[in-house]
Amino acid sequence: MKKGGNSHPPATAEDDAQAFKDEMAGVEPISPHGRVIHDAPRLPPLPLSLFRDQREVILESMLDPVLWDEDMENDRDTSFVRPGLSRQTLRRLRRGDWHIQAELDLHGLTKVEAKHELAEFLHECKRRGGRCVRIIHGKGLGSHNKVPVLKQHVRHWLTQRDEVLAYVSARPADGGDGAVVVLLKGR
C-alpha distances (whole Å) from 84 to each of 32, 91, 158, 169 are: 57, 15, 17, 21
Q: Is the pTM of this model over 0.85?
A: no
**Least confident among 19-28, 113-122, 141-150, 170-179:** 141-150
Cα–Cα nearest to 155, from 130, 138, 174, 143: 138
Of 16-25, 138-147, 158-167, which range is least confident? 138-147
Answer yes or no: is pLDDT of 147 > 60.
yes
Strand pairing class (102-105; 79-81): unpaired
* pLDDT recorded at residue 132: 93
Adjacency order of strands within the sheet including 179-184: 79-81, 164-169, 179-184, 132-136, 102-105
Whether the per-residue pLDDT at 13 is higher than 80: the answer is no
- Give the mean pLDDT of 7-11: 60
Over pLDDT 90: what percentage of the chain? 28
Q: Output the pLDDT for position 2.
A: 52
Span 63-99, pLDDT tens digits: 655 544 434 444 444 889 999 988 899 899 999 899 9
Please, what CATH class does the domain formed by 48-184 belong to? alpha beta
